[in-house]
Structure 1
Amino acid sequence: MYWDVKTVRPLDNYRIHVQIEDGREGIFDLKPYLDRGVFRKLRDKRYFDRVGIVFGAVTWPHEQDIAAETLVAGMVPADQGKKW
């Protein structure tokens, strides 16, 4: 299965919209991560909005990244409001 992230965009309330190479897309909530180590920096909305993709993973400029497998396991389908 090809799970690399194809697109990502920041949303309100510390969520991101993600599209996976296999065609799935959904919303991933980062609020549970904001009190953990390097993810604390994501509390800064301007920094949070600098989200991007490197080697198929969602990343930010300073050490934060989330693998596609984690996104797929935790994202809610964008059009259905339920988990995969």
Structure 2
Amino acid sequence: MPIPIKVEPLENYRLWVKYSDGVEGIVDLSDLAGKGVFALWNDYREFQKVYIGPSGEIAWSDQVDLCPDATYLKITGKQPEDIFPKLRELVAYARN
């Protein structure tokens, strides 16, 4: 799975993310702002402190991080089965 190599905060709780395979795009996180652990972003300066953590997670402080696989899927519009073909086999097996 590709990993994020660059992340930049944009306006309105959006991020521009570039992945190791060259995929890049914008992720809108405005629906998360102010909810649960994302209340950290109530101070917009905290949202702007985004970085890539040691395991490839997209992070803000030690309190908040996002799964890089989920943001990759959101940017590409792909389903998990598109990235991990074995999942198709598991789903088909589970249905039988």
TM-score, with structure 2 as normaliser? 0.72
Q: 2:34 touches 2:40 (CA, 8 Å); kept in 1?
A: no
SS of corresponding position for 1:56: coil
Relative CO higher for 1 or 2, CA cutoff 8 Å, sep ≥ 6? Answer: 1
> Shift of residue 11 of structure 1?
0.3
**Paired residue for 2:41?**
42
TM-score, with structure 1 as normaliser? 0.81
Give the alignment's Cα RMSD to 1 decimal. 1.5
Name the aligned partner's letter for residue 42 of structure 1: W
Using the alignment, how far apart are the partners of 1:35 and 1:51 within structure 2? 16
Per-residue CA deviation, residues 36-75 of structure 1 (Å, 9 max, x unaligned), is: 3111111321111000011211000141101111101222
**Paired residue for 2:24?**
25
In structure 1, runs of 5+ residues without a counterpart are 78-82
**Paired residue for 2:81?**
none
Using the alignment, how far apart are the partners of 1:62 and 1:43 within structure 2? 16
More strand by share: 1
Bigger radius of gyration among the two: 2
SS of corresponding position for 1:33: coil
In structure 2, runs of 5+ residues without a counterpart are 79-96
Runs of at least 4 residues off by over 3 Å = none
More helix by share: 2
Name the aligned partner's letter for residue 67 of structure 1: C
- Deviates further, 27-36 or 50-59: 27-36
Percent identity over paired residues: 32
Using the alignment, how far apart are the partners of 1:10 and 1:28 within structure 2? 10
